[in-house]
Structure 1
Amino acid sequence: MTTTEWWTELKSITLHVEGESARLWPESASEEYRRARMELVAAEAELRDRIEAVAAQRRALPPGGELADRTFVEGPDDLSADGPERPVRLSELFAGHDELVIYHLMLHPEDTKACAACSMFVDGLDGVERHLTQRTGFAVMAPAPLPVLRAWARSRGWRRVRLVSTAGTTFLDELGVAGSRGALFPAFSVHAKDAEGRIRHVTTQPADFPDGTERGMDLMSPVWNLFDLLPSGRGNQEPNNTYPLEPAVR
């Protein structure tokens, strides 16, 4: 269904009355609550505008460094199978788009399990992959051998994300998302093709800021943002790798 059809066929939209909008409180809300909530609305609008200003600043970055068209390894689209393996070039990950988003999963070549927080991110990214790939190339990348990466995907129930192994390459070192002793840093990296078709790095968004403070990728996580709506906030909740694949008992 196209956007036009949304507005012409869906009763949830066609029955809309001009000037109406969702209320921010039930009728039982006190005047004290209403005043405080409207103050919060102003702060939320200010935050929205600041987020857009930062996004505009990001879009205005000068051309980034040129990247070689390296070759990696991937498997079939069906994540339930391990093979056949095939080579895939960085340029192919764009999948017909001029831009590419990569999530760098912390799955070390000597590990069989990935970082729990990284896995939480990819749990969500797997669900929205079909939306992302309408506008940009998208891949999840790790230096672990491809069979290990795909086995981890199956253990998490991932079905759609494009998984790429960088094993045997220095690509992560070139980007700066691997440490001097082989540690891995969680990050999103964005790349684009310029007018001459060269691949250029656009930006890297790591989990930590350069000064070591955290929450560098929070805006990309629905989990943390939804927890922020709770009266109790985020609490001491930490992701882990033991959640069952089945829905929670209701």
Structure 2
Amino acid sequence: MEGHSVVAPDEWLQARRALLAHEKDFTRQRQNLAKARQDLPWVRVTKSYEFAAVDGARLSLADLFGSRSQLIVYHFMFGKTWTDGCKSCSFMADGFDGVEPHLRARDVSIVACSSAPPDKLDAYKRKLGWEFRWVSSLGDFNKDFHVTFEDAELPADYNFGTSKFHINEAPGFSVFYKDEKGNIFHTYSTYARGLENFLLTYQFLDIVPKGRDEAHLDYPMTWIRRKYEYDHSPS
């Protein structure tokens, strides 16, 4: 950060107004992109999927909607034999935990889904202090939505075939709509860097002078820890 330009308030205001013009343009582009997402054609979901809840209940995809017509599923990386959930997915979950009441007000349910059994999910959820609903996929759901892979498939096609993934579990969001007749449609999925918009901490880091401060790292997210793993000393 040494040598960064320092100017008088009037010059700073001029520069800030110029940046504001770019920010407003970006906001308009983001609104247009959101509309394009909403205008995507849908695919009807005809396959039956089953999920397990921590209370032992067996749930269908329709059950995950509750009384609402829209459903967001976060594909949380937590393999069947893993001890803990993925730290980057935990980083993501820290950002969306707590949004459910607001989403419900707009006819949306949100749920996380993983390969690990419900007891592991519940223990990890308690450890992190989360409140969101989390279920275990009992069948092909994760595979069909391209976030769980067989060993023989690795490296697997990921992000609509645009990149490779080298482990069995991958992250993503998938969105569904249920009509009045109970028909379910897959409307949207996003993976890889498409998830950055939902990483709340990154949004804050992007407005501070050092930004994400990841350029010197071999991999951008290597600094991330589960929130109980950081040094929480007062200094």
Same fold (TM > 0.5): yes
Partner of 1:151: 123
Instruction: Read off the aligned partner of 2:211 and give its amino acid letter.
Output: G
Does residue 169 of structure 2 align to residue 191 of structure 1?
Answer: no
Distance in 2 between the 1:241 and 1:30 partners? Answer: 40
Partner of 1:119: 90
Instruction: Read off the aligned partner of 1:231 and give its amino acid letter.
Output: P
Write out per-residue CA displacement over residues 144-182 of structure 1, whole angstroms, 9 at most, x where no aligned residue.
011111111111111x2111011x311111112222427
Task: Judge conservation of contact 2:174–2:189 (CA < 8 Å) in 1.
Answer: yes
Partner of 1:231: 209
| Shift >4 Å, 4+ stretches | 244-248
**1:127 Cα deviation (Å)?**
2.2
**1:245 Cα deviation (Å)?**
9.3
The alignment yields a C-alpha RMSD, in angstroms, of 2.2
Secondary structure of the 1:216 match is helix
Task: Judge conservation of contact 1:69–1:199 (CA < 8 Å) in 2.
Answer: no
* TM-score, L = length of structure 2: 0.81
Partner of 2:141: 171
State how many pairs are aligned: 206
Distance in 2 between the 1:234 and 1:201 partners? Answer: 33
Distance in 2 between the 1:29 and 1:188 partners? Answer: 45
* TM-score, L = length of structure 1: 0.76
Instruction: Read off the aligned partner of 1:172 and give its amino acid letter.
Output: N
**1:244 Cα deviation (Å)?**
5.4
Does residue 104 of structure 2 align to residue 133 of structure 1?
Answer: yes
Q: How does 1:1-250 map to 2 (within 5 A)?
A: 30-75=9-54, 84-135=55-106, 136-158=108-130, 160-166=131-137, 168-181=138-151, 183-194=168-179, 196-206=181-191, 208=192, 215-236=193-214, 238-241=223-226, 243=228, 249=234
Partner of 1:5: none
Secondary structure of the 1:39 match is helix
* Structure with greater Cα Rg: 1
**Higher relative contact order (Cα pairs below 8 Å, separated by 6+ residues):** 2
Secondary structure of the 1:217 match is helix
Secondary structure of the 1:235 match is coil
Distance in 1 between the 2:98 and 2:117 partners? Answer: 24
Distance in 1 between the 2:227 and 2:9 partners? Answer: 42
Task: Judge conservation of contact 1:69–1:91 (CA < 8 Å) in 2.
Answer: no
Task: Judge conservation of contact 1:110–1:144 (CA < 8 Å) in 2.
Answer: yes
Task: Judge conservation of contact 1:72–1:87 (CA < 8 Å) in 2.
Answer: yes
Flag structure 2 segments of 5+ consecutive residues without an equivalent. Answer: 1-6, 152-166, 215-220
Distance in 1 between the 2:98 and 2:178 partners? Answer: 26
Instruction: Read off the aligned partner of 1:54 and give its amino acid letter.
Output: L
- Percentage of identical aligned residues: 29
